[in-house]
């Protein structure tokens, strides 16, 4: 399905990928008088962003200001520096400052041109609440609810998140807890997901309204829908689905001048400067092994299966360099193989009370409610803790369930391992059962007081609010593991489309070669671009916030700022 397909004339911009950053880049170009052809490998629009929670992190943004929250570029920089303390060599100082200063400008621009109506996510603190410059709320934005009918026939080409209760707002979800919002509410079922949402699937399912209550879109699905609705009103943007770019074309100087793509009608060529917006490498085992050092038995992904590292391979083929972020700083989550099908799932259940994460020795080794610490400690090159396991008791099963199993439900045969005692559970899972029992006893003793003196579970405000059970006292993430039968599952790290490592860029989004020189006509935005802006620091929402900022900057670069079709396009037309 193409949108108003026509030949791309000289001077068109070629955007590879129709995720959030790709759509925003094309929109920015069109609003300044340029034309854009968007080539998307799949038959759906939205990419990994549409599956996400739709959190857009931006320091000193205008939405926080209009909500009476004080912030500044200086505080934002303090925070980023405080969390990006490891491996300083991967932090690009110039790019970091450019992103921080341009981000609030970009967020305001996108709202002013009608691409989105921003809403602040209330009461959601920065990840690292102890870090200098952190705020208790104000930096997380998402879309005000949009009705899917605004997309017309393109509604059926929009990815619909199976991982968040699309239709609910953050206010509603955070009020009763993320897990409870699935199993108690009815929004997911009204929009194409019968009963519980497909929490363990990554199959590109998308819903449609069916009960006369409209089609409210929120979370990542809603953020993408907002931009898509605005893109569809621009006649200078041509979206072509099922067009996988397989080659970048260069001229005699090495500058990129177009692409070749595989389409349902054969190989096609599209000329113009190229913006890589292909997201990351989740579904390429070779790149996962190269970037993360993790084999397939310990890795899966909930991102669309079209995230195959195309941007990395395309850039490398024309001399592009790659920014590699240490695996211990990559935002991957503890998850599991789906209860049905061959996909993968993840959820807040690992952070809920009455659960803990252990290694094969039966020991806890991290703040096991907080993915940042789980990743850092599990993949610590000096002391790796693979394989790792989620352990919980029957209180957890009765209160929360797991994935598609509702509270009090029975787990599918062969999916979860259960036993009447912790030592026996350990034996079944290949864990030291005696030590597992001792670990649970100590954990439970402290959990009853709402404490974790060993690893600080319960001390991260963001996790308590976003992943915990607000009704559980004295802590939303701590509860004893004491009621038989006991349950366990071997965990996998699950990618969500934020690989951190990616195409090396400068502060303006220009792709760089190994010498640090820009490659003419080649740019990268979103998660296709390496996270040199934050180095080893990460906060939920930075991927989308940085992606929209890069889209704004690249569109400016290609069109000469606010002066209509600028130097980048004029050069391409010669």
pLDDT digits 0-9 by tens, 44-54: 999 999 999 99
Which positions ≥6 away from 514 have C-beta within 8 Å? 319, 321
Taking alpha carbons only, the member of 449, 435, 460, 297 closest to residue 368 is 460
> Residue 31 — very low, low, confident or very high, per pLDDT cuts 50/70/90?
very high
pLDDT-derived band of residue 339, with 50, 70 and 90 as boundaries?
confident
For residue 7, the model assigns a pLDDT of: 37
Size of the chain, expressed as the number of residues it contains: 574
Token pair of 5, please? 């397909």
Q: Quick one: pLDDT at residue 568? A: 40
pLDDT value, residue 198: 32
Q: What pLDDT score does 341 carry?
A: 63
What distance in Å separates the CA atoms of residue 498 and residue 289, rounded to the nearest whole number? 15
pLDDT range class, residue 191, cuts 50, 70, 90? very low
Q: Phi and psi at residue 427, in whole multiples of 5°?
A: -60, -40
pLDDT tens sequence across 286-312 = 999 999 999 999 999 999 999 999 999
pLDDT at 484: 98
User: Does the model's pTM come out above 0.95?
Assistant: no
The pLDDT score that the predictor gives to residue 86 is: 82
Closest CA to 61 of 119, 97, 105: 105
Q: Is the pLDDT of residue 200 over 50?
A: no
Pairing of strands 274-276, 518-524: parallel
What's the rounded mean pLDDT across residues 223-229? 98
Cα 549-555-561 angle, rounded to 5 deg: 105
Element (H, E) at 102: helix 93-112
Query: pLDDT-based confidence at 203, cuts 50/70/90?
Result: very low
Helix (H) or strand (E) holding 18: none
pLDDT at 192: 33
Q: Is 367 a residue whose pLDDT tops 50?
A: yes
Tell me what pLDDT residue 189 has.
Answer: 31
- pLDDT of 434 reads 98
- The pLDDT of residue 371: 95
Q: Which has more confidence, 81 or 341?
A: 81
- For 227-243, what is the mean pLDDT? 98
What DSSP string runs through 469-512?
-TTSSS-TT-----SSSEEEEE-EEEE-S--S-EE-B-TT-EEE
- pLDDT tens across 98-113, in order? 999 999 999 999 999 9
Residue 358 to residue 366: CA distance in whole angstroms: 9
Give pLDDT, residue 199: 31
For the ranges 209-223, 468-482, 554-568, which has the lowest average pLDDT?
554-568
- Confidence (pLDDT) at 85: 80
The whole-number average pLDDT for the span 145-150 is 97
What's the pLDDT band for 175 if we cut at 50, 70, 90? confident
pLDDT in tens, 442-460: 999 999 999 999 999 999 9
Q: What is the pLDDT of residue 185?
A: 53
Mean pLDDT of 211-228: 88
Mean pLDDT of the chain: 90
List CB contacts of 1: < 8 A, sequence separation 6 or more: 43, 157, 241
Q: Give residue 567's pLDDT.
A: 40
Give residue 87's pLDDT band: very low, low, confident or very high (50, 70, 90). confident
Q: What is the DSSP annotation of 415-454?
A: TSEEESSHHHHHHHHTS-HHHHHHHHHHHHHHHTTT--TT
- Is the C-alpha dihedral spanning 57, 305, 261, 513 positive or negative? positive
pLDDT at 421 over 50: yes
Query: β-strands 492-495, 333-337: how paired?
Result: antiparallel
Q: What is the pLDDT of residues 472-531, one digit of tens each?
A: 999 999 999 999 999 999 999 999 999 999 999 999 999 999 999 999 999 999 999 999
Whether the CB-CB separation of 74 and 94 falls below 8 Å is answered with: no
Q: Is the pLDDT of residue 263 over 60?
A: yes
């Amino acid at each position: 399905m193409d949108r108003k397909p026509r030949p791309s004339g000289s001077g068109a911009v070629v955007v590879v990928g129709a995720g959030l950053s790709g759509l925003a880049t094309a929109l920015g170009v069109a609003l300044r008088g340029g034309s854009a052809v968007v080539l998307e490998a799949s038959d759906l629009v939205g990419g990994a962003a549409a599956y996400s929670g739709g959190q857009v992190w931006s320091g000193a943004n205008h939405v926080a200001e209009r909500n009476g929250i004080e912030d500044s570029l200086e505080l934002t920089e303090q925070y980023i520096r405080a969390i990006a303390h490891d491996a300083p060599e991967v932090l690009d100082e110039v790019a970091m400052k450019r992103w921080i200063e341009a981000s609030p400008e970009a967020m305001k621009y996108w709202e002013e041109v009608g691409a989105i109506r921003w809403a602040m996510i209330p009461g959601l603190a920065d990840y690292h609440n102890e870090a200098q410059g952190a705020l208790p709320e104000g930096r997380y934005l998402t879309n005000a609810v949009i009705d899917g009918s605004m997309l017309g026939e393109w509604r059926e080409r929009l990815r619909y998140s199976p991982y968040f209760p699309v239709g609910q707002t953050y206010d509603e979800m955070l009020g009763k807890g993320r897990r409870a919002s699935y199993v108690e509410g009815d929004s997911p079922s009204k929009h194409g997901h019968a009963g519980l949402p497909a929490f363990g699937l990554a199959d590109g399912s998308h819903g449609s309204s069916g009960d006369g209550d409209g089609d409210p879109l929120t979370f990542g699905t809603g953020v993408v829908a907002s931009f898509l609705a605005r893109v569809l009103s621009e006649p200078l943007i041509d979206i072509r689905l099922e067009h996988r770019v397989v080659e970048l074309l260069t001229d005699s100087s090495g500058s990129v001048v177009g692409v070749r793509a595989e389409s349902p009608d054969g190989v096609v060529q599209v000329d113009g400067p190229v913006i890589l917006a292909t997201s990351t490498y989740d579904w390429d085992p070779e790149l996962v092994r190269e970037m993360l050092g993790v084999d397939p038995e310990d890795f899966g992904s909930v991102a669309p299966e079209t995230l195959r590292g195309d941007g990395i391979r395309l850039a490398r083929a024309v001399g592009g360099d790659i920014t590699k972020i240490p695996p211990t700083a990559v935002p991957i989550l503890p998850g599991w193989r789906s209860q049905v099908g061959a996909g993968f799932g993840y959820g807040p259940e690992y952070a809920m009370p009455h659960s803990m994460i252990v290694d094969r020795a039966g020991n806890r080794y991290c703040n096991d409610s907080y993915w940042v610490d789980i990743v850092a400690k599990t993949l610590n090159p000096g002391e790796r803790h693979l394989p790792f396991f989620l352990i919980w008791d029957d209180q957890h099963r009765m209160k929360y369930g797991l994935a598609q199993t509702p509270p009090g439900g029975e787990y599918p045969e062969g999916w979860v391992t259960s036993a009447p005692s912790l030592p026996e559970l350990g034996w079944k899972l290949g864990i030291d059962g005696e030590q597992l029992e001792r670990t649970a006893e100590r954990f439970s003793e402290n959990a009853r007081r709402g404490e974790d003196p060993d690893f600080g579970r319960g001390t991260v405000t963001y996790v308590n609010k976003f992943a915990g059970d607000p009704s559980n006292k004295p802590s939303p993430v701590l509860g004893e593991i004491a009621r038989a039968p006991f349950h366990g599952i071997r965990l996998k790290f699950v990618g969500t489309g934020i690989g951190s490592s990616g195409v090396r860029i400068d502060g303006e989004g220009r792709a760089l070669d190994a010498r640090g020189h820009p490659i003419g006509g080649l740019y990268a935005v979103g998660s296709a671009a390496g996270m040199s802006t934050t180095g080893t620091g990460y906060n939920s929402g930075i991927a989308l916030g940085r992606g929209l900022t890069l889209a704004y900057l690249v569109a400016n670069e290609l069109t000469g700022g606010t002066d209509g079709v600028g130097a980048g396009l004029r050069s391409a037309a010669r």
